[in-house]
Structure formats: C-alpha cells, structure tokens
Chain A
C-alpha cells in the first residue's frame, strides 16, 4: 500500500507527512506497527476479532490525535499506550458483563455472552488453539494491569523504563507488578502442570 520509500523513513517523518494529509505516510506507520499493536491487543483480550477491533481503534485514535503527538517522543510508546488503555477498558467492560451474567437480573436469564464464532476459519482456530498452552491460559487469568506489563515485557521485549513510559507509572510500580504477575504465573503453571503429571501417573 505505502510506497517502499516510506519504509525507510523514521517515525517522526511519517508523522509529519501524515499531518500534511499524506495518507501513504500514515499507512506506512500502520504497516510498521500493525503486528506489534495487534499482538498487544490479542495477548490482552485473547480473541482474534476483538483484538482486530481494538487495534483498528487504536490506530484511528492515534490518527485523530496526531497533532497532539510530540515529535521526538517514541511513537511506539504512544501507540502501545493507546492500545493498552483500550484493551484494559475492553476487559473491564467484559468483566461487568460476566458479573451480570452470573447474577441475571431477569428470571429468563437471557444475558449470555456472545462468543464470536471462529469455528470456520482454520487459521484463526489454529492461533486460538496455540493460545491454549498453559502459560497463555495463565496470562489470560491475570488482572488487566498485570497482563499489560507481562505482555509488554515478554512479547514486545520492552525494558522496565520503557514499560513505565508506556503505562505512565513509576518504575517501582512496573517492577512490583511484573514480580507479582510472574509469581502468580509460576504458581498457576506449576499447579496445572502438576495436575497433568498426577493424572498421567495415576
């Protein structure tokens, strides 16, 4: 979509061009960050369609606010922050839905969560099957803020300081969240693997 020359330009130049109505330049930015943004959303919400919606929304939000971006800052941190916030909001809304399903307000109890039908797309099914590994299942059970630091650290390979920049939290908070999150992950993975081993032994 974007001419190949755009792939050599630094982020700041693409942003400047985008501000001047150069759509190919913005497409270049989307191209550059699509996998990172989508992976962040996907690891956060654990569902292909929802991740697609969130990452599209993230880029559109960035497009709308492009004039407020401070050149010289990292575009990656900015777009990660937007994506993380959208994902956390999404997870919180979903949790509210789940709570209301647990205690249906009407006698029919007709409030079911609509699970998207992914059964007829083999590629998506494969990706979601891969998700079912023990570690990933454990990640999905983390609270949204813990999940975010784990994903940014391990999927996106960010340093503590970069994570602090993305989430706008102090360095100490990043460390504490990361340590607690991984203690929880370790305990869960051990418990589930232990169950499996016990069943195999029996």
Chain B
C-alpha cells in the first residue's frame, strides 16, 4: 500500500487538476504540479476540455484594458487636496482665519513677512521708511511693523488688533492706527499717531510708548526706531491689505 499522502501526490485527481489548471494559466503552478497536470491531461478528456475553456477565458480576461480618466483627473484631485490642506490649517490654528462673523466689519489680515535683503537696500528702505513714518499724513490706513516675521495682526483701516490667540514674538509698531491688544506682545509696543488699548487678558512684555506728536518726540522716536531697526536689520514690513 502506498501512503495516502504520497498517493495523492503521485496521482492527480480531477478536482486537483482543475485547480492546477488555473494556477498553471496564472503562471503560478510549481514545476512538479505542471508535470503531474500534463500527465493527467493526457488521459482525461474532460479536464483537457476544461483546460481549453479556461485558457480561452483567461485570454479574454487578459484583454481587459486599463481605462485612463485623463489628466483632468489629477487636477480634480489636487483641487480637493487644496481644500484638505485648508481644513487642516483651520483645525491647527482657527484664529488664522479672518472672522466673517464680526458684523459687516471686514478684518483684513496683515501678513508680516520679510526678506533678507542686502544691507544697502535695507538702509535705503529704512531712510524712506523713517521719512514716511514721521511725515504728517491724513492716512486712513494704519501701517504695522514688527520684528516678528510671523506676527499675526489684523488690520482694517485704522483699526489694528492683536487677536486673543495671537502672540507677537518681538516688538510691534503701529503708525496711524488704533491698536487693541487681546493677545500677547513679547517686546515693546510703539504707537506713532494713534491710540492703544489692552484687554484684561492682554500681556505686553516690554514698554508701551505712544508718540502722539512726532515733532516733539522726534529724537526719542528716531532713536527708538533706530534701535529697533538695527536690532532687526531693517525689516520694514507692514504690508496692509485693504479693499
């Protein structure tokens, strides 16, 4: 008597042959199965028919083509990615979104960014900047300067706010504006022609200087501004967006 295990290995029955046929057509049948299968097919017409039919089916399945949705598909996905990013950003910092709920009052975001410019350029900018700061002007638009490149400050016309969740890591200078501090300013606060108010939760790490009359306190202000300028390599930013 041949042990069952061995017997099954040596003689392939039709049930095993049909599985072996599919594995063979998939290119996944081991060598010994292939030999056993061909031996089985030689004297089993039923399985031989089955082999032909399966082979035909596999051929038709293999001819199923890929369908390309076109390059517009990539554009559509990337549009949704942009939405995803915005949602993620809002979750991370909900205060960094202009709040539309404050009545009809449109807070504009002043993005305080800076560029590392050459020293000469900085001096030129400084000269013009200082000049424009102390020229009397009927400006209806506040200008905001900060030593913190990522300072998050809201500006709408002459109204300037440091929102409750915002922290300015450095000095803050407001020209021709009325500042309300809800959040934190780690450095000094300078107001040139304007007012400043602090909420109960506000924190200012440095001094608060209000320069109402630039002519009277020009010297002090210029010295202070120079100090600020030199310590920060002249990052005159204050980009204010208005509608």
State the A residues within 8 Å of B (CB): 1-2, 23, 26-27, 30-31, 34-36, 38-39, 42-43, 51-52, 55-56, 59-60, 63-64, 127, 135-136, 150-151, 153-155, 159-160, 175, 178-179, 182, 185-186, 189-190
Residue of B at shortest CB range from A127?
B67
Q: Which among B58, B65, B74, B81 is the interface contact of A31 at CB below 8 angstroms?
A: B74
Q: Distance (Å) between the CB of A148 and the closest chain B CB?
A: 14
Q: Pick 30 A–B contacts, CB within 8 A, sort by A.
A: A1-B71, A1-B75, A23-B82, A26-B81, A27-B74, A27-B78, A30-B74, A30-B78, A31-B74, A34-B69, A39-B66, A39-B67, A51-B69, A52-B69, A55-B69, A56-B76, A56-B80, A60-B77, A63-B81, A64-B84, A127-B67, A150-B61, A153-B26, A154-B64, A178-B26, A182-B22, A182-B54, A182-B57, A185-B57, A186-B53
B68 within 8 A of A: yes
A1 pairs with B78, CB closer than 8 A? yes
B131 within 8 A of A: no
Known A30-B74, A55-B69, A179-B22: A63·B84 in contact at CB below 8 Å: yes
- Neighbouring B residues of A159 by C-beta, 8 Å: 28
Q: Mark B19-53, 1 if CB is under 8 A from A, else 0.
A: 10011001010000000000000000000000001
A175 pairs with B81, CB closer than 8 A? no
Q: How many Å lie between the Cα of A1 and that of B58 in the bound state?
A: 37
Q: Which among A42, A52, A160, A182 is the interface contact of B28 at CB below 8 angstroms?
A: A160
B73 within 8 A of A: yes
B219 within 8 A of A: no
Known: A23-B82, A30-B73, A179-B19. 13 other contacts (CB 8 A): A1-B71, A1-B78, A23-B81, A26-B81, A31-B74, A38-B73, A56-B73, A60-B80, A63-B84, A136-B64, A154-B58, A178-B26, A179-B22
Q: How many Å lie between the Cα of A63 and that of B71 in the bound state?
A: 18
Q: How many Å lie between the Cα of A38 and that of B18 in the bound state?
A: 33
- Neighbouring A residues of B54 by C-beta, 8 Å: 182, 186
- Neighbouring B residues of A151 by C-beta, 8 Å: 64
Residue of A at shortest CB range from B27?
A159
Known A56-B77, A64-B84, A154-B62: A38·B57 in contact at CB below 8 Å: no
- Neighbouring B residues of A51 by C-beta, 8 Å: 69
Mostly helix, strand, loop or mixed at chain B's interface?
Answer: helix
Q: Which among A26, A31, A38, A63 is the interface contact of B67 at CB below 8 angstroms?
A: A38
B69 pairs with A35, CB closer than 8 A? yes
B67 pairs with A42, CB closer than 8 A? yes
Q: How many Å lie between the Cα of A1 and that of B75 in the bound state?
A: 8
Residue of A at shortest CB range from B19?
A179
Q: Distance (Å) between the CB of B91 and the closest chain A CB?
A: 12
Known A154-B64, A182-B22, A186-B53: A38·B80 in contact at CB below 8 Å: no
B78 pairs with A23, CB closer than 8 A? yes
Residue of B at shortest CB range from A31?
B74
- Neighbouring B residues of A189 by C-beta, 8 Å: 57, 60
- Neighbouring A residues of B67 by C-beta, 8 Å: 35, 38-39, 42, 127
- Neighbouring A residues of B65 by C-beta, 8 Å: 39, 155
- Neighbouring A residues of B66 by C-beta, 8 Å: 35-36, 39, 155
Residue of A at shortest CB range from B21?
A179
Residue of B at shortest CB range from A56?
B77
- Neighbouring B residues of A178 by C-beta, 8 Å: 22, 26
- Neighbouring B residues of A135 by C-beta, 8 Å: 57, 60-61, 64
